[in-house]
Structure 1
């Protein structure tokens, strides 16, 4: 029986011949250079930057010779997040985080650019001359060597202009990336199967008049191929209303609705056809004359003549080259029932660009065929419209989705569009690139904005990557996380220091695990004793400073001689009272130079039997140098005039000891609202020292505050913290919108950064529980991310008193196993959901 079905093989119709020197050669003798393009992340581009990107494309396109085709192809593919569950020694919270995002769908973006050198004859062909309709593919016009050489030079220049812009970049695709290898399919196979799977197989292509299918995928194609379908006005950017306010504009590229905002599998094709401009204009001159002569028969002829005249006037007045352009959105789905919805979504996306969406069925197969990388010369000319380069470039998409940092160190945040986890480095990589000069961070967010969740989320990940973390808190924000670490390490780590009447805070400032008293240790002891001895408004004299320094140094020397002696404050007090008093008598030190009796009298409350004898005589011999997670909860003593200054000095001494002694190990000190009390108590010099010095010791200092007035009114914040914090982190500022101009001036924020900050939490997805946070690095890089955590992390981080009480009560019933308590409560909550 004779086969009468209209079938043919892909091999016989395939329009490409070979890939030579990374150029694609078609069977019609077209030459194509293929590139991968990197675009800036969505919501991170300002108006001036959009204009700069637009100008860069324009400068690059005008370098191309006649009969070139610029084909930009943006793929937007639905993918699912694959959790990283195979890492060794992954913590309970890290594993729960990855499981929370398991199979989270997101739209991935791949951007390609194809520059094709075609011929005059090829660029005028219509759809009935497509290679799909030909029996044999033989070029009628041979490309000369000179033409090929000029094209290669133009491609190199095009690439250099784009890469020099600093905003977008392009990289040449190799033969393996185009054709594929035995283990991985190339771009040609991916396009013909509409799949980015590494080991995909080619499906049958059904090219019908009413429907087009590739395997099970049903396609719909919407085109912009007529000037009647275009908006009256275009620009490099457009205002995204959902994230804009009356005080700020959130900007996207003009074509963004056909890009990331269209949440289905689709390809957005953008074509520019560089014809011979003079020839085009001569043709329009002839057409205008014909229209003029026929104007008496039809008013439409008169109107068309006027439009042509305006086009010619623009071209001649400003020296604009005449080109042709075409744009189409090719969307698909596996489910036939979803095809109608996808058609509506695509049409709506084009309508948001103020275009008239035209669903193309008759030329769908031809346009799909012309979209094969390197086959733009097969494009049917009747599907294009005449325009100029600048307005045509407005239809280019200019942003991509959030990208992972290549750095091995970092934290996980979420893409604000889809919620996909993003690996973000806000410390090391920016330092290496020179974006920031220190790792310090300043965090600002009002109550309820999610500060504690973000800081818990950040320090947990820093700790799990080997960082020594010291936290100074005033609200039990880190109690759950600290208890979890303590439970997991069997008490070897996770030190939670707080004040209660039954168990008051106690230290031993004279204790070192290795018996070494370096200059930093000595200075911290002197500062501590000086704080106990003198009031803030009573500075010591020079002779008193010298006497105190000698007393400390001599006591430390005596420790070296008597190794069995336990160093503590009581022993120091007795040393001064007995041994040092004799030394002073021998030196004949006068009472007015150093009043020993007054010194001993003032310090007597800290000596045994005194009111605060517990404070500096701890017998626990706790080695905080080796503890990697320490929380000082000082809310109960933040207003105490005696205890608070002593405790803050001890805290600073602990961190400075870590900073100096732990070589090559990352350290972090995070001070919550306690910094205000520290500054009031005369401890400002410590914070200034920290913020200026910590970067030299592979460390970072973080200050967290919630009151705007704290920034505006505090000189220590202005001079030390802000100026020495290259990473600024802000949470929801809508509460301060009316006074945000002051915050902007104080923090030195740009208008782009202001717009990003004021867009926080403006358009959150109600199906997900998260708060957004803005992270700015050195005034150069900034973006808004989502802090979304698993149920288990939520329970560990929560600051809600009732939830914390329930967790601790459940843990006590399980012999203190807080991890098991979190597991059980999380399982109950998920069951309720």
Structure 2
């Protein structure tokens, strides 16, 4: 008898009895095991990988016993980004970044899987037998034997999926299902259509033509009729917006009703496993009936042909006959918006070549059946017959970009919604064995946002305690360095550059603590040999040994007598006045052919007091680069100078090697911008080769940034060393090189999947946001495209546009050099 009461309590209709041993038990004795599903990230799966995922699902479903239901439920809920600005130590730029993304909307995705063991009778129930329509529910007893077998099958199911390597299942505990005093459980969340941990149960209106949960009006579209489905389905579909004529960007077949549907919705996917043999016998009988009735109606003859096709397919390929159902449940608190959402869901289903059906008649029953643990209550007339393999094509197989659990990393953005994500491209991949070193190779043509991305990366690394040494051409890091210099009151942010008024100047003999290890002594000796000998001259063992002895003797002298100013001038005087006499007084004479000290002193005279380069090695600033955490060497003005450039490159490398060896347990970064200009020197190439091979042992990373791959190829010494020893490759927009990308692909050892991702960069950027995309690949195992989006303040600090940079610097000049205040004022004026 139909219940005529206008209202009733959820408690009286509630179909679930209890949750025991992490299993949901219904009053009809259905047992359900719930899992949280972790899917691969969007745009990171290739066609063979989609096939492998599909195959894993198929194998897993086949181990479930008859009269089981596999119900996959994907939640997509609109949320807004909440900035993390509570840390008082947070820098001005970090705080600006967080504020920039305040309230940024995005679609949060969570996926659950419910495996239910029900009975033959329950599987065939129609909507009028739903627990919603019954006055009361008399609990039935669980069959112990069938439940034990079901739980064993669930264990096998979990193992098959987790072993696939693409998807992982985590069993939900009792607390996660029913909730705790602090956090809402899964069932509470379902009854309020919210993923919030602090949800409250709300009134429901389960009417004939409307469905309302609290203030949320729900619309439901179903795929429950074979005639409304496409003629052909597949595991994946080509996403045209990010595909080119040379590459395919793929999504799962059901992606249009997943992350591509930008509204609050739940996508339910059901597989009902019945007795396949009995189903086929039923179809055989139906086919015979259709045959006998074919003379009365052509429709019967056609139906008979369709049934024969189904049976032939089942028998010839050994397929399992099942029932399936899919529905999209979308909601909004605004009824006007709901009309727009209804059209949007319909159009997304049409993209899958399905004919959408807006279901009002069974909306309440379908909502009730989608409750975790209640899929046994599903109305059988809303399902259609198919096979496991075809039904699984309607599963969504991707999720949002995920943040790394690592405490260290950089902030990038999800390329779809622009939500900030925390990304670790150094430590966690090393721990997981994805990469074997932290070195990075960055490639991007002019204007692709390369320097911008590097500024963003370097700033975040510096703020997390990294010692950064930069070799730059083009003043890309001037703004950032000036900010750090001002913020640390001159203690950090050292900017070395060459101008006629203030030429570049070092003091290789100065250290704060008068400690000179073997590497420091060797680098001083190498520097002196470079100044003395031309590139063509051979250095003999005697010359190298004698010069090394002289450096050691001089260092002992300045350590014993700290009144002597350590610099090249006093070293030159020591060689001229003391060491030369010592050589003459030795018992075993050193001939001029073996070590010509006069020739050396004559050649090095130009670096001594009064010489034309006397400024170079006699800096009186006494900066010990060991303790400085942010150092920029701007070498653009001297890269063509044959005398100065080799010296500067050796001093740069010496500074970094000194950090590398002496700073134990401290992260270090050497970044060489526009590599080819620096690599032109043989000394620099050898240093880089040494660096790339050894820096990983000292918690360091070397990064080479270049515009052209040809620049790297042109240096055979470095080509193999850099590319082979850079497990992290970072590429920016390569579309201008699309016709010669095969060469880049071969050189960098990129897979077809990585090629497709790289060629999709900046193909479909949101016009409302200002950002550039960047591809990051780790060890050929993990790769994705991310967005580099920053606040106005960060943009002004990083910009390489001459006019914008001048505007910042001129305003800073008026504000007593306070670049941070200048950026604040400019950012404010731009917003207004």
Sort the TM-score into its range (normalised by shorter chain). Answer: over 0.9
The Cα shift of 1:716 comes to 3.3
Write the deviation string for residues 330-363 of structure 1: whole angstroms up to 9, x where unpaired: 0000101101110111011111111111111100
Give the distance between the partners of 2:193 and 2:742, measured in 1 at CA: 49
Alignment match, 1:800: 801
Q: Does 1:73 align with 2:73?
A: yes
The Cα shift of 1:791 comes to 0.2
The Cα shift of 1:562 comes to 2.1
Give the distance between the partners of 2:164 and 2:484, measured in 1 at CA: 47
Cα pair distance change 1:703/1:766, threshold 3 Å: same
The Cα shift of 1:572 comes to 1.2
Give the distance between the partners of 1:787 and 1:454, measured in 2 at CA: 7
Give the distance between the partners of 2:287 and 2:435, measured in 1 at CA: 59
The Cα shift of 1:580 comes to 1.3
Give the distance between the partners of 1:543 and 1:472, measured in 2 at CA: 33
Tell me the TM-score normalized by structure 1: 0.98
Alignment match, 2:605: 604
Which segment is superposed worse, 696-705 or 710-719? 710-719
The Cα shift of 1:4 comes to 7.6
Give the distance between the partners of 2:37 and 2:795, measured in 1 at CA: 39
The Cα shift of 1:492 comes to 1.1
Give the distance between the partners of 1:675 and 1:695, measured in 2 at CA: 23
Write the deviation string for residues 202-232 of structure 1: whole angstroms up to 9, x where unpaired: 1111111111111111111111001001111
Give the distance between the partners of 2:547 and 2:578, measured in 1 at CA: 14
Give the distance between the partners of 1:747 and 1:674, measured in 2 at CA: 16
1:769-808 counterparts in 2 under 5 A?
A: 769-808=770-809
Give the distance between the partners of 2:676 and 2:410, measured in 1 at CA: 25
Contact 1:648 1:678 in 2 (8 A): no
Q: Secondary structure at the match of 1:760?
A: coil
Give the distance between the partners of 1:216 and 1:273, measured in 2 at CA: 33
The Cα shift of 1:559 comes to 2.2
Aligned residue pairs, count: 828
Alignment match, 1:417: 416
Give the distance between the partners of 1:682 and 1:512, measured in 2 at CA: 24
Alignment match, 2:493: 494
CA RMSD of aligned residues (A): 1.1
Q: Does 1:664 align with 2:665?
A: yes
Write the deviation string for residues 239-290 of structure 1: whole angstroms up to 9, x where unpaired: 0000000000001001000100000000000000000001100100100000
Q: Does 1:356 align with 2:365?
A: no
Give the distance between the partners of 1:651 and 1:675, measured in 2 at CA: 16
Alignment match, 1:811: 812
Q: Does 1:479 align with 2:478?
A: yes
Alignment match, 2:118: 118
Contact 2:676 2:711 in 1 (8 A): no
Q: Secondary structure at the match of 1:121?
A: helix
Contact 2:675 2:712 in 1 (8 A): no
The Cα shift of 1:139 comes to 5.5
Alignment match, 2:172: 173
1:821-832 counterparts in 2 under 5 A?
A: 821-831=822-832
Alignment match, 1:567: 566
1:427-438 counterparts in 2 under 5 A?
A: 427-438=426-437
Write the deviation string for residues 738-757 of structure 1: whole angstroms up to 9, x where unpaired: 01000000000000000000
The Cα shift of 1:681 comes to 4.4
The Cα shift of 1:674 comes to 4.6
1:738-749 counterparts in 2 under 5 A?
A: 738-749=739-750
Q: Secondary structure at the match of 1:69?
A: strand
Give the distance between the partners of 2:31 and 2:684, measured in 1 at CA: 70
The Cα shift of 1:600 comes to 1.0
Which segment is superposed worse, 712-721 or 531-540? 712-721
Write the deviation string for residues 127-156 of structure 1: whole angstroms up to 9, x where unpaired: 01100001121357x542110110010001
Q: Does 1:87 align with 2:82?
A: no
Unpaired segments of 5 or more residues in structure 1? none
Write the deviation string for residues 716-763 of structure 1: whole angstroms up to 9, x where unpaired: 342111011000000000010001000000000000000000000000
Alignment match, 1:625: 626
Alignment match, 2:41: 41
1:636-785 counterparts in 2 under 5 A?
A: 636-785=637-786
Give the distance between the partners of 1:762 and 1:272, measured in 2 at CA: 37
The Cα shift of 1:44 comes to 0.6
Give the distance between the partners of 2:427 and 2:709, measured in 1 at CA: 29
Q: Secondary structure at the match of 1:682?
A: helix
The Cα shift of 1:578 comes to 1.8
Alignment match, 1:592: 593
Write the deviation string for residues 380-406 of structure 1: whole angstroms up to 9, x where unpaired: 000000011001000000000010100
Contact 1:453 1:798 in 2 (8 A): yes
Contact 1:729 1:774 in 2 (8 A): yes
Give the distance between the partners of 1:496 and 1:567, measured in 2 at CA: 22
1:231-270 counterparts in 2 under 5 A?
A: 231-270=230-269
Give the distance between the partners of 2:223 and 2:718, measured in 1 at CA: 54
Give the distance between the partners of 1:72 and 1:753, measured in 2 at CA: 30
The Cα shift of 1:5 comes to 5.3
Unpaired segments of 5 or more residues in structure 2? none
Contact 1:645 1:678 in 2 (8 A): no
Q: Secondary structure at the match of 2:72?
A: strand
Alignment match, 1:271: 270
Q: Secondary structure at the match of 2:701?
A: strand
Q: Does 1:53 align with 2:83?
A: no
Alignment match, 1:331: 330
Give the distance between the partners of 1:390 and 1:301, measured in 2 at CA: 27
Alignment match, 2:30: 30
Contact 2:67 2:275 in 1 (8 A): yes
Give the distance between the partners of 2:338 and 2:572, measured in 1 at CA: 85
Contact 1:679 1:716 in 2 (8 A): no
Q: Secondary structure at the match of 1:609?
A: coil
1:243-322 counterparts in 2 under 5 A?
A: 243-322=242-321
Write the deviation string for residues 669-698 of structure 1: whole angstroms up to 9, x where unpaired: 111015533333432110001111111111
Tell me the TM-score normalized by structure 2: 0.98
Contact 1:675 1:703 in 2 (8 A): no
Alignment match, 2:391: 392
The Cα shift of 1:714 comes to 2.9
Give the distance between the partners of 1:62 and 1:716, measured in 2 at CA: 56
The Cα shift of 1:598 comes to 1.1
Q: Secondary structure at the match of 1:500?
A: coil
Alignment match, 1:106: 106
Give the distance between the partners of 2:5 and 2:32, measured in 1 at CA: 34
Contact 2:675 2:711 in 1 (8 A): no
1:536-555 counterparts in 2 under 5 A?
A: 536-555=535-554
1:357-376 counterparts in 2 under 5 A?
A: 357-376=356-375
Alignment match, 2:207: 208
The Cα shift of 1:36 comes to 0.2
Q: Secondary structure at the match of 2:268?
A: strand
Alignment match, 2:217: 218
Give the distance between the partners of 1:72 and 1:34, measured in 2 at CA: 10
The Cα shift of 1:410 comes to 0.3
Q: Secondary structure at the match of 1:487?
A: helix
Give the distance between the partners of 1:601 and 1:819, measured in 2 at CA: 49
The Cα shift of 1:100 comes to 0.1
Contact 2:686 2:717 in 1 (8 A): no
Q: Secondary structure at the match of 2:120?
A: coil
